[in-house]
Structure 1
Amino acid sequence: MMNSEQIISVYEVVSMITDQMLVAAKSQDWERFSNLEINCAEHIQTLKQKDTQEALPPQSKEKKIKLIQKILADDREIRTITEPWMEQLSAMMHTNGTARKLANAYGSNRIG
C-alpha cells in the first residue's frame, strides 16, 4: 500500500508523461509516443494496484484532483491529434489489404 505522498508522486509522473506524449503527438514522433505510452501504462497499473480509496489529507486530495484533470485534458488533446491519424492509417491498411487480395485473386497485370 502506498502513502499519500507516494500516490501523489506517481500521479505527478503520469502527468509529466502525458505532457511528453502530447509533445510527441504534436511533432508526430510516433516511436517516442509509443514508448511513453508504455511507460504511462505501467505507472497507471501501479496506481490501480496500490492507490487506496482511503481519504487523503485535503491538500493531497486537491493536488490529486488537479493532476487527474490535467492528465484527462492532455488525453483529450492527444486523442484530437491521434484519432484522425489512426483513421488514416486504418484506411491505408484497408486499401493495401484490398489491393493485395485483388492481386492474389487476379494475378499481376501482365498481358500474354
Structure 2
Amino acid sequence: MMDSQEVISLYETVATITDQMLMAARNGDWEELIALEARCTRHVATLKANEAPVPLTGAVRERKVQIIQKILSDDREIRSITEPWMDQLSKLMSSVGTERKLNHAYGAAPR
C-alpha cells in the first residue's frame, strides 16, 4: 500500500498526463492522445490497486480534491473536443459502408 505522499504524487502525475492529453486533443494529435491515455490508464490502475482506504488529513485531502477536480475538468474538455470528431468519424465510416453495400448490390465497380 502507498502512503499519502505517494498517493498525492501519483494523482499529480495523472493530472500532468491529463493536461498533456488536453494539449494533444487541442492540437488534433490523436496518436499522442492515445499514447497518453494508455499511460494514464496504467497510473490509475496503480492507484486503484495500491491506494490504502485510509482517511487523509485536512491539507492532503484538500490537495487530492483539487487534483481530482483538475483531472475531471481536463477530461470534460477532452471529451468536448473528441466527441464531435468521433461523431464525424462514425458518420464517415457509416457513409463508406453504405456506399460499399450499394456498389455491391448494384454491381458498380469500386473506386
TM-score, normalised relative to structure 2: 0.94
For 2:4 and 2:59, how far apart are their aligned partners in 1?
Answer: 10
**Partner residue, 2:74:** 74
Output the amino acid matched with 1:99: E
For 1:46 and 1:90, how far apart are their aligned partners in 2?
Answer: 33
Q: Structure 1: 5+ residue runs without aligned partners?
A: none
1:1-112 equivalent positions in 2, closer than 5 A: 1-108=1-108
Deviation at 1:28, TM superposition (A): 0.2
CA RMSD for the aligned pairs?
A: 1.0
Output the amino acid matched with 2:5: E
For 2:103 and 2:38, how far apart are their aligned partners in 1?
Answer: 37
Deviation at 1:53, TM superposition (A): 2.0
Output the amino acid matched with 1:67: I
Output the amino acid matched with 2:28: Q
Deviation at 1:18, TM superposition (A): 0.3
TM-score, normalised relative to structure 1: 0.93
How many residues get paired? Answer: 109
1:65-109 C-alpha deviation (Å, 9 max, x unpaired): 000000000001111101100000000010011111112222225
